[in-house]
Structure 1
Amino acid sequence: MKLDKFDMIFAGVGGQGVLTVAGIVARAALIQGYNVKGAELHGLSMRFGAVETHLRFGNDVHSPLVKKGEADLIISLEPIETVRVSRYAKDDTNYVFDRKEQMPISVYLENKPYPSMKDVVSALKKNSPKGKIFDLSASDVARKEYGSVVAANVILLGKAIKEGLIPLKKDSVLKAMAQVLPAKVLEANKKILDLGFSLK
């Protein structure tokens, strides 16, 4: 498939599985024959610090970093982190993010007020008036169906694939999951991916 480049940002806080879902997507892109470049930008990721991962794939990709104003898709596991990384967005960037608040340590340290969901969505629409925004209760669904909020990352990925926001085939993602995830959680994560497809 001809694809010059596709730029993604994954965001969240430590412990939410940001790096895991980025790894699945990177492997799926490799399976489809694309060049893949990526970079992890995170500080106190084990102590609820911000985690940000850049991923670029396609036939003409050289740098691992997404430039500001060039992200095609942002997948985020935390609302305020979605707004933070929207500095990479352009007018038609698409967003898939979890509505569940997981207060980043920066909010505590800087004593910043947490924005309302309305303010979060408004900020994203301002940055990307032509983009699509999907805010999901992924953590709540993950806890109910899987017993752990950590599964929210794969739910968001499933939604992105279903909506055609990412140029990867579901079959490639399933193959990537088999290569990236431990065998004991693979079947459960396949079902979790389908949950993302089923969400409205």
Structure 2
Amino acid sequence: RNKLTYTHKKLTNGVAYYYKIQAYKNYKGKKLLGEMSPFEKYCDYFTYKNESYESRCKRIFGKKYYKKYKNAKQASKHVTTVAVKVWDKQGGRKFTRKFYLTVNKGIAPSVKEMFKEIYKSKERFSIHEMGCYNWRGNSSTSEHCLGLAFDINSNENYMIDGKKVLAGSFWKPKKNKYSIPLNCKLVKILEKYGFERGLWGSRRDYMHFSYFGT
């Protein structure tokens, strides 16, 4: 049997590519064609917007369903630390900060790529505080327990339920450099990599961006 290979280069992450494969055989001067076999393949090395729930579960858990880690010891086996650069501002001058984020191993490559894009963007949004993995107990359903959620500038991007402040102090995107607007480059890049902001009806967590949207 002869084997043919094809390498498709310069792919775009999060885009589906369609291919058709057809076997053939030269027989008595004629080409005999087999059945056409079309198939779809996503470029999914990195996380991406509109990634299916099943794909997200498979990336994180290796299975088609979502599960919690039983305890901190188990969770610690599924996280790793990545270094990312961000911009901050002091006295009118922009400077580089470096964070060492503990994140789920399944999203580690995506996190590095995502923050590389955020750092290179012309916006240079100011970030002075950020966290991801945080074990919050066996009963918690928070994605922070899995290393799948980010809190960015938590004090300046508060969490509220109606008029009740649950965490942080305020959210003033037009007045404070650390308050994250609803529609800015930082948010768009996070969304591009599949991280949704925590805006759930009357409960609005302006600091929070998570992979499963919880």
Identify whether the pair has TM-score above 0.5, normalized to the shorter chain. Answer: no
Which has the larger share of helix?
Answer: 1
Larger radius of gyration: 2
- TM-score, normalising length: structure 1: 0.30
- TM-score, normalising length: structure 2: 0.29
